[in-house]
Chains A and B, each alone.
Chain A
Amino acid sequence: MNKSILIYVLTGILAASIPAEAAFKATLIMPGDKSWEGSIIARDGDWIEFSTGKSPRPIRLGASTIKELVFDVKLDAEKLAEMNRNREYERVIAALDRAMAPYVEYSDIPSNLTKYNALLMELYYKTGDFEKSLEVSCKIAGDDRDLDLQEKSRIYQALALIDSGRSDEAEALLSEYGWDQGLDNDAAPEKLYITAKLMVLKEQYSNAMELVAKVIAFNSQNPDWMQPAELLCAQVYAELGMYDSAEEVIRQISLLYKNTNEDDQAQKLKIRIEQLRAEQELKKSIEPENV
C-alpha cells in the first residue's frame, strides 16, 4: 500500500552523515513564498537563528512565522528501497530515525520532513506499532500543505485506532471525516476498507463482509487497496465460519501477492482455519454420543 510515497522519498537521495555542529543547510520559505538558501544556526525557544552566509550576523525569526523549512536530508534511496522491498522495515525505520534525529528540535515547523514522517507512519503501522503510527499520523493530519499526504495520514489515523482496538475513537474519527456516510458501490476503496475493519472490530461480520466485498469487486485494478482488502476478506469469511471461502481467498493471495505481509498473514490464517476445522470435526464426532 502507498508505495508511491516510498518511491518518492527514496528517489535521488543519498545517505550522508549529518554534520555534528548545530548548523544545518536549509532553505527558508517565508509567507509569500519568498525563500533563502542558508543554514539554521540554532534555536532559542520560539526563535530560530538563520544565516544566509551573506551577512556576518544570523537573522532571528519567530518559529511560527516560518512557512516551511526545507532541510537537506540525505538518505541512500536505493538501499532503503531495497530494504523496504525485502520487508526489512525495522532497518528502514532506524535509518529514517537516524537521518531525522538532528531535526527533531524543529519538528513543530512545517518542513520537508513531513514526507519522511509519512513514510514512518506507514512503516510503524506495518510493524504493528500503532501508537507511534497514530502519533505521526495525527501530526500530519493537521498539516494542509499537501492534501494527498493529509488524506493519507487520516487513513492511517483511522487504521491505527482500529488496529489498536479503540473502536469508539475510530468511529468518532470516521464520523468527523464523513467516512461513515455514502458507503455505496462507488465509495472510495479506503473508506470502504476502513469501515469494514471497524465493523470487524465491533464483530459485525456480515456488515464488514459486504463492505470489503465492495472494495474487491469494484476496485480490482487498484493494487494498493486490493492487497489488504483481500486479506481482510479472508479473515471475515473465517469469522463467519465460511472456511471454504476463506481458503479460496487465501489461495488467491498466495498467487497474486507472494512474499508480502498479506501473504504471511494469510498463511497464518490458513493454519488457524485448519485448526478450527479440526475442532469442528472433533465436535461433530462427539455430538452423536451426547444425543
Chain B
Amino acid sequence: MNFFHRYCGIALKASLLVVFLSAGTSAAQDFSSMGISDVVASADRMLQRGDYGAAIPALEEVISRTALLTDSQGMDTAQTCRFQLARAHYQTGNVASGMTVLDEYLANEPRTKERIALRMMAQGFFDTQEWDKVENIAVRLLEFPDLEKEDIYNANLLLGQALFRLEKWQEAVEPLANAAKTAKDQRIKSLCQIMIVRALVEAENWRELFGWIPRIYRTDSKYDITLNLTLMKAGKVRFEDDDYLNALLLYRMVLPREELLEFSGEYEKKLTAKLNKDMKVGIPEAEVEERQNEIKDLKTSIKTLSELPAYEEEVTFRIGQIYAEVKRYWESYVLFDKLYNSDRNSEIGEASILQSVLILYDVGENNRAEERILQYLDEKPDGLYARTLLNMMVRDNLVRQEFSNVVGLRTSVEGLPAAGSDDEKTLQSDLYFMLAFGYFQSKDYKLAGEQFSVILDSFTDSNHAADSLYYRGMTFMLQGDYVNALTDFKAYQAENEFGEHLSASLFREAVCEFGLENIPSAEAVFTRFIDKFSDDVLVSEAYSMRGDIEAAKEATYEDPHTLDRALADYRKGIDKAFSAQQASYAAFQAAKVYKLEFKWQEIIDLMQYYMDRWEEKANVAESVFWIGQSQIELDQVDDAVTAYLDAIERFGNDPLQQGVDKIILELVKISGYHLSDEDRDGLAVKVKLKLTSIDERMEVLRLRLQVTQALLEGDDIAAALGAELLESNIKLALTTPASLSLMCDAAIDTGNIKEMDRLFEYFNSNYEESDLLWHAYRAKTHKLLTEEDFWGVLASIDEAQGLFGAEAFMAWAQIIKADTQFKMEKFKEAEKEFNMILGVPEWRGPVFAEAMYGMGRCRLALGDLETAHSFFQRTYLLFKSYADGEWAAKGYLAAADVLIKLGREEDAVKTLQAMLEDEYTNTSPLAEQVREQLKKYGGQ
C-alpha cells in the first residue's frame, strides 16, 4: 500500500524577527564576533534567498545567545530562531536535527508556530515511520481550537495513516473518511478510500464496508490492485468461515486480473509521463521522490499481480458456489455455465457442468439439465463426471416416475467405460440398479431381472447386491417363474438375517410355493410368516392367502372346519390390514366363502363390520352389492333394491367407485328375476325420478343412471344408448365400466375401429380391475380382426382369457381364436380350439353348434371328408334349436356338399330334403337356396 502524507510546507517565509530586524548585512562566517542584530539580519537574508544551509550557523548563534534570556523579547527571539532553524534543517534534508530543535521549541514558550511545528514533527516521524508518535501529534493537532479546514484535513490525514499503520483498523476509518471527504486532490481521495476499505475489511465491519463500496466502485479506485487482492483474501476467509453473504459481496467486487493489469499499466504510463513533464518544468525534489515512489509501488503491485496464478476462474467458481448456497440459483447457474463454456476440459470447467446441472434440477429446469447431461455424455463419455451426471438424470427420472426415460438411458449406462476406482464402481452399480428399477416399474420384468443380475454378477460388493437378489426374485415371481423366484427369496433370507426385505421375502416364498401348487408348503410358510412377523405390513395378505388355501380345501369328516378356519383368517386379514385394499380383499373373499355356505346374514354382518372398521376408505359400493345380494337370498328384495338405489345415488358420481357398476348390473338382474311387473315398473320410475332430480353437475351419476335405465328397459335400448354415447363423443372421464361396456359393444356393432382402440386404452388404463373389462378386450380383438392382424388377435385373446378364463361371457374369445387359426390355415389347431368349446358347460348354446360346425370345416379343409360330414351331421342333429336353427341349416348344407364330394349325390339329396322337413330349419333363409338346389337334381 502506498502511504501518502501531504505535508504542505506552508509558507514559512513570514518575517519573524520583528524585534531584531535591522539592516545588518555582514557576510562574515564567524558570527560569534558579530553583534546579535547583525547575526539576525544575516540569518534573515539567507532565509529570504533560500540559502538554508548558510542560515543554520547564524540561527544557532542567535539561539545560543538568547536561550537563557527570560524576558519576553529574548524568549520570543530564541523561539523564533528555533523554529526557523528547525525549518532550515528540514529544508536541507536533515530532518533528525530539525526534530531535535522542534523538540526544544515545543518545550519552551512562546509557541506561536506550535501547529506548524507539530505538523513538521509529524512529518519527521512519518518519514521515520514512528507511527505512534505521528498519532500522538495528530491527536494533539486536532485538539486545537478554531482549526482551519486545511489543518483539520492535514491532521486527519496524518492520524488516519498512523492508525492504519498501527493496524488500529476501526479507529483509522473516521480520520481517513474525513480526509477523503475534504481532499481536493482526487489521487489522495482515492488512496484514502482504498485505505478505508482495507481497514474495514480488517476490522470485519461489513456493514460500513458495503456502504463504501458502491461509492468506490463509481471511481477508478476499483482498479487498485491491492484493494482487489484485499477483497479477494477477505472473501476467502469469510467463505471458509461459512459466512457466505459477506464472502459473496467481497468476492464479487474483485475485478478480473487482465482488467486490473491493463488499467494499472496505463495508469503507470500516465503517471510516468506526467512526472517527466513536471520535472522538465521543475518541481521540488521531495515531490519527485514521492511520485517516483508511487510509480515504483504501482510497478511492484503490477508485478505481484502478474506473478499470481490466474484467480478469476477460482473466484468465479466460488461466487457461483456461494450464490447456490444462498439459494440465488440463477446467478449461480449463469456463472457455472460461463465457466464450463470457457474451458470444457479444465478441472473447473468439468466441475462447473456438474454444478450447473445440479442448479437446473434445483430450479425445476429438468429438460435443460437433461440436454446438458446428454451433450456432455456425447462429448465426453469418459468425462470426470459422466457417471455422476448420468446418475442424477436417471435418479431424477425415477423419482418423477418417468420409467420409460430411465430405461431409455440404458445405452448411455452401458456406454460408460469400465469402472476403475471404488467410487466409480459405486456409481456404476447405482446406475444398473436404477436401470433395473426402471424396467421393474415399467413391468418389463425380464429385462429388470437381467439388470439385477448384472449387479449380482459384476458388482458383488455393491450395497445394492442384497436388494438386487430380492428384486430379481420378484421379477421371476411376476413372470410366473416360481422356481427361480423361490431360489432367490430363500437365498436372500439365508444371506440377510436382518435384511430390509427379510419378511417380504418369506411372504413371497409362500406365494411362490402357492404358485408352484405346493399348497401344504405354501400354507406352512404363510403360517411361519404370520407367527414370525405378526405386525408386518403384509400379514393381512398372508392371512387372506392362507384363508384362500383353507377355503379351497375339501371339508372331510376328519377335518370338517376348513371354511371356518378360512373365515377366521379373513377376519384377521381385515383386522390386521394396513390398507383398505388389503381389508377389502379379505372381506370380499370371506363373503364368497359365506356365500358357499349360504350364510347370508353373516355376509351382511361382515360387510357392516368391514365398513365400520374402514369407514370412508372402505369399498362401500362393493359392500352394498354383497349386502344386497344377501338380502335377495333372504327374500328381502325391497331392502336390497332400496340399498342398491341408495348406493348408486350416494357413490355414483365417483367414477372410481366401481362397485356402483356392479350394483347397476345386479339391480338389473334383480329386476328381471325377482321383481313383479308392478315392482319393475316402480323401479324404472324411481330411476327416472332420480335422473330428473339430480344436480346437473353430477355428470357421472347422471350417466350411470341413464345406463341403469337403459339396461332395465332391455338389451336393445341399452345397445342404442351405447351407440348414442359413441356418437355423441362423450368425455371419457365421465364414463365408468357400465357405460364403457355398452360403448365397446356399440363400437363393434358399428365397425368403428378408431373407437374400439380408444375405448380399450381408456378402459384398460382406468378400470383394469373391472369385471366388465372383457368388453374392451372384445372390442380390441374385433379391431385386430378387421385389420387382419391375426397374430394380434391371438395375443389379445390370450390376454383376455388370462384375465377372465372360461367364464360364461367369454365364449366369444374361444370362437374367435379357433376361427382365426382357421383363417391362418392352421386347421388342426383350429379344430382343437373349436373342440375345447364343447368342454365348457357354461358355453352350452349356439356356441356349441358353431364349434361343431367349425370342426367340420377344419376336417373338410384337411380333406377328411368322412369326419367332416360327421361333424356337420352332429351340428344339425344335436344343436338344431340354437339360433333359430341357423347352425343346423348350415350343417345340413355343408353335410350335403361333403356327400356330393364323396360322390354320394343321392344321400346329399336326402340330407337336403331332411332339412326342408325339419321344423327348425325349413323356415331358415337357407331353405330357399336348398329348394333351388334340389330342382337341379331333377325334382328328386
Contacts and interface: CB of A to CB of B under 8 A. Distances in A.
A217 B207 contact: no
B331 A255 contact: no
B329 interface: yes
Taking each of A221, A245, A256, which has the highest tally of chain B beta carbons within 10 Å of its own beta carbon?
A221
B327 A218 contact: no
A257 B327 contact: no
A256 B214 contact: yes
B330 A213 contact: yes
Interface in A244-291: 244-245, 248-249, 251-252, 255-258
Contact of B333 (A213, A244, A255): A213
Contacts of A217: 319, 323, 331, 334-335, 338
B544 to A, nearest CB: 27
Contacts of B928: none
B249 A255 contact: yes
Given A221-B217, A252-B249, A255-B249, A185 B338 contact: yes
Contacts of B337: 185
Given A185-B338, A218-B338, A248 B327 contact: yes
Contacts of B363: 240, 242
Contact of B210 (A214, A242, A256): A256
Contacts of A206: 365
Nearest to B215: A223
A196 to B, nearest CB: 11
A65 interface: no
Contacts of A242: 327, 329, 363
Interface in A215-250: 216-218, 220-224, 227, 233, 237, 240, 242, 244-245, 248-249
Nearest to B255: A221
A252 B323 CA distance: 12
B552 interface: no
A231 B262 CA distance: 32
Contacts of B49: none
B187 interface: no
Interface of A (DSSP majority class): helix
Contact of B327 (A185, A224, A244): A244
A248 B319 CA distance: 15
A91 interface: no
Size class of B's contact patch? 20 to 34
Interface in B230-260: 245, 248-249, 252-253, 255
B780 interface: no
Contacts of B249: 252, 255-256
B489 to A, nearest CB: 36
Interface in B288-344: 319, 323, 326-331, 333-335, 337-338
Given A242-B363, A252-B249, A256-B249, A209 B330 contact: yes
A122 B704 CA distance: 68
Contacts of B327: 242, 244-245, 248
B218 interface: yes
B222 interface: yes
A85 interface: no
B217 A223 contact: yes
A79 interface: no
Nearest to A234: B328
Contacts of A244: 327
Nearest to A247: B327
A210 interface: yes
Interface in B187-222: 206-207, 210-211, 213-214, 217-218, 222
B656 to A, nearest CB: 14
Contacts of A98: none
B213 A256 contact: yes
A249 B328 contact: yes
Contacts of B213: 223, 256
A3 interface: yes
A205 B249 CA distance: 25
A261 to B, nearest CB: 14
A229 to B, nearest CB: 10
Contact of B218 (A3, A185, A209, A249): A3
A257 B213 CA distance: 10
Contacts of B365: 206
A117 to B, nearest CB: 23
Contacts of A214: 334
Given A221-B253, A249-B328, A252-B249, A210 B214 contact: no
Contacts of B255: 221
Contacts of B207: 255
B144 to A, nearest CB: 28
Interface in B346-391: 363, 365
Given A210-B334, A213-B334, A251-B245, A223 B214 contact: yes
Interface in A191-214: 206, 209-210, 212-214
Contacts of A233: 328, 330-331
Interface in B497-545: none
Nearest to A224: B218
Taking each of B326, B327, B330, which has the highest tally of chain A beta carbons within 10 Å of its own beta carbon?
B330
A210 B330 contact: yes
Given A185-B338, A255-B210, A221 B330 contact: no
Taking each of B214, B248, B319, which has the highest tally of chain A beta carbons within 10 Å of its own beta carbon?
B214
A206 B214 CA distance: 29
B218 A257 contact: no
A120 to B, nearest CB: 22
B249 to A, nearest CB: 7
B218 A223 contact: yes
A185 B328 contact: no
A165 B487 CA distance: 71
Contacts of A257: 214
Contacts of B210: 255-256
Contact of A258 (B211, B245, B326, B329): B211
A210 B252 CA distance: 18
Contact of B253 (A3, A209, A220, A240): A220
Contacts of B214: 223, 227, 256-257
A252 B245 contact: yes
B222 A185 contact: no
Interface in A174-197: 185
A240 B364 CA distance: 11
Contacts of A245: 327-329
A157 to B, nearest CB: 24
Contacts of B331: 213, 216-217, 233
A240 B253 CA distance: 28
B222 A248 contact: no
B727 to A, nearest CB: 36
Contacts of A209: 330
Interface pairs A-B: 4 shortest CB-CB: A213-B330, A220-B252, A223-B214, A245-B327
Given A221-B252, A222-B217, 10 more contacts: A212-B330, A216-B331, A221-B253, A242-B329, A245-B328, A249-B328, A252-B245, A255-B206, A255-B245, A257-B214
15 contacts: A3-B218, A210-B330, A210-B333, A210-B334, A213-B333, A220-B253, A221-B253, A223-B213, A223-B218, A237-B328, A244-B327, A249-B328, A252-B249, A255-B210, A256-B214
